[in-house]
Amino acid sequence: MWALFIGALIIISITHWVYSWRNPRCKGKLPPGSMGLPLLGETLQFFTPNTSSDIPPFIKERMDRYGTIFKTNLVGRPIVVSTDPDLNYFVFLQEGQLFQSWYPDTFTEIFGRQNVGSLHGFMYKYLKNMVLYLFGPESLKKMLPEVEEAANRKLHQWSCQDSVELKDATASMIFDLTAKKLISYDADKSSENLRENFVAFIQGLISFPLYLPGTACYKCLQGRKRAMRMLRSLLQERRTMRRNQQRDFFDYVLEELQKKGTVLTEAIALDLMFVLLFASFETTSLALTLAVKFLSDHPLVLRQLTEEHEAILNQRENADSGLTWKEYKSMTFTFQFINETVRLANIVPGIFRKALRDIQFKVSTKRLMEREVGLISMSHADAGYTIPAGWAIMVCPPAVHLNPAKYEDPLAFNPWRWEGVELNGASKHFMAFGGGMRFCVGTDFTKVQMAVFLHCLVTKYRWKTIKGGNIVRTPGLQFPDGFYIQLKKKDTRKQETTLHKQS
């Protein structure tokens, strides 16, 4: 009898728990959606690989079913997903007031609990200003010759090889340059390969959060530990050295650490260095690889891009002189090309925030009807919804960048769509570099690297695709088979004749 009673009690408890999981409490009306399986939520569906360049199937299917805003559960966390430009803009605008930056516990563990993305208020602004010291416009002007020299050196090396895997090669080029500026790291002289640790880290960064030996997540955290051990050792070494002048960013960080009453701690400083090393090269190398793939597939785009950069050479008194900041800023079509590349790349599949209190919002009929007409249930039109305090909200850039109501033929690669468009930051319809007060401080650095690399590439080299180039999203962008090209120097005599005719 007691066994039956206990059994019934267990069944009732489990049933109640499952019901509570699927129907979270809310002082209002939650957006439509599904919370998935207990504990797992819809995490498995979210991480399912896909080869589409369109809005990720996980998002698209739920947009069709529920509308532009819906609820779900990822890695055990209730989340509201927003594909609505107006709500996205509101979320970024209210940073620090109604929302604050948030990422899943696995991300926090990977990037460090004191990383710049997890800090708020004064501390975040303080670190942001430190980063601008390195990546601000004035510093980039001085760095321009180094970026060009690195691109020319690597391109020459690659042209002597039968083929080069572009993603890995550009990642190595950018990492070496950034590591030199940050910590005076020289891969040729160092006894340890710092970048290898980041490669292990990246492979498991956007993976299912299962921390067991052999899993991608486990390898990722092991890579972080090794990289952090190297950075910590370097910090201790620098403290024992007497340097007469500031040579790199690490010197600047050490000066900040030694100031009386500083708010900077060693843990925060090391996490900052780690994040900067990672963020500076991984996303940019993905964007550059995709950019070259687009050029390979679109001859008319390649032609106009080449003409713009050859015109820069043609207008110089000395064609062999280095790029100037004025020349860089004159690359109108290049910036259109970069905008279109990162719009379609959608390297960042989601930007996370957390609601600091219950937030009411309304979805308009107009906004709903901008989606696939007839696919969205009109029962959701003009509905008022609540994001409960403590819930996460995921802003979805791919849905914004591929919205047919804003971008005609959104899957088509068309740099000319940006003609006459001024982009000095994020907007409701373009958030490749984030938005609001957390707009990526490395945006200008990324654009400089891409523009300079493209300048060196199209003016001095031609190439052909050897193999690879297939794209998989898990949900982040990957080239699982690599992207191999064969690079050859252009006939400079022919090029000089062309420039002479143009003049």
**389 in Cβ contact with 355 (< 8 Å):** yes
**Is the pLDDT at 198 greater than 50, yes or no?**
yes
Q: What are the residue ranges of helices labelled H in 114-248?
A: 121-135, 137-159, 166-183, 194-203, 216-240
284 part of a folded domain: no
341 part of a folded domain: no
96 part of a folded domain: yes
Residue 322: in which H helix or E strand, if any? none
Q: What is the pLDDT of residue 393?
A: 95
Q: What is the pLDDT of residue 234?
A: 81
- Highest mean pLDDT, choosing among 211-220, 372-381, 490-499: 211-220
Q: Cα angle at 469 between 468 and 471, to 5 degrees?
A: 120
pTM of the complete model: 0.86
Burial class (CB in 10 A: 0-12, 13-18, 19+), 25: exposed
**Is the pLDDT at 265 greater than 80, yes or no?**
yes
424 part of a folded domain: yes
Rounded-to-integer distance, Cα 123 and Cα 131, Å: 13
DSSP letter at 161?
S
- Highest mean pLDDT, choosing among 297-301, 321-325, 367-371, 389-393: 297-301
Structure tokens at 487: 């690079």
Between residues 11 and 57, the one the model is more confident about: 57
Q: In the predicted model, what is the mean pLDDT of residues 373-383?
A: 41
DSSP letter at 56?
-
Between residues 3 and 136, the one the model is more confident about: 136
Parallel/antiparallel/unpaired status of strands 164-165 and 99-101: unpaired
Structure tokens at 248: 């790199």
Rounded-to-integer distance, Cα 267 and Cα 257, Å: 11
Question: Tokens 């970048």 appear where?
Answer: 195
For residue range 455-485, list pLDDT tens digits in order: 999 999 999 999 999 999 988 888 999 999 9
Question: Tokens 């007031």 appear where?
Answer: 97
- Please list, in sequence order, all residues whose beta carbon lies within 8 angstroms of the beta carbon of residue 140, skipping any fewer than 6 positions away: 444, 445, 448
18 part of a folded domain: no
- Please list, in sequence order, all residues whose beta carbon lies within 8 angstroms of the beta carbon of residue 351, skipping any fewer than 6 positions away: 394, 395, 397, 431, 434, 435
For residue range 290-349, list pLDDT tens digits in order: 999 999 999 999 999 999 999 999 998 887 788 999 999 999 999 999 999 999 999 888
Confirm whether residue 440 is marked as ligand binding: yes
Virtual torsion, Cα 495, 319, 135, 165, nearest 10 deg: 30
Q: How far is CA 424 from the centre of its chain?
A: 18
Between residues 259 and 147, the one the model is more confident about: 147
Rounded-to-integer distance, Cα 41 and Cα 79, Å: 10
The SS3 call for residue 50 is strand
Structure tokens at 229: 């051990």
**Is the pLDDT at 169 greater than 70, yes or no?**
yes
418 part of a folded domain: yes
- Cα-Cα-Cα-Cα dihedral sign, residues 314, 318, 319, 321: negative
**Is the pLDDT at 388 greater than 90, yes or no?**
yes
Q: In the predicted model, what is the mean pLDDT of residues 435-449?
A: 84
CATH number, position 34: 3.30.43.20
Q: What is the pLDDT of residue 152?
A: 96
- Among 118-127, 202-211, 487-496, the range scoring the smallest mean pLDDT is 202-211
Task: Report how many domains make up the chain.
Answer: 1
Residue 465: in which H helix or E strand, if any? strand 461-468
Between residues 349 and 368, the one the model is more confident about: 349
- Highest mean pLDDT, choosing among 130-134, 296-300, 443-447: 296-300
Q: In the predicted model, what is the mean pLDDT of residues 10-29?
A: 67
| Residue-averaged pLDDT of the chain | 82
The SS3 call for residue 80 is strand
State the pLDDT confidence band at 232, using cuts at 50, 70 and 90.
confident
Between residues 276 and 206, the one the model is more confident about: 276
Q: What is the pLDDT of residue 274?
A: 81
**Is the pLDDT at 502 greater than 70, yes or no?**
no
**271 in Cβ contact with 114 (< 8 Å):** yes
90 part of a folded domain: yes
Q: In the predicted model, what is the mean pLDDT of residues 478-499?
A: 77
Rounded-to-integer distance, Cα 53 and Cα 32, Å: 26
DSSP letter at 69?
E
Q: What is the pLDDT of residue 222?
A: 76
131 part of a folded domain: no
Rounded-to-integer distance, Cα 448 and Cα 335, Å: 10
Between residues 442 and 495, the one the model is more confident about: 442
User: What is the span of the domain harbouring residue 73?
Assistant: 28-102+350-428
- Please list, in sequence order, all residues whose beta carbon lies within 8 angstroms of the beta carbon of residue 58, skipping any fewer than 6 positions away: 42, 45, 46, 48, 475
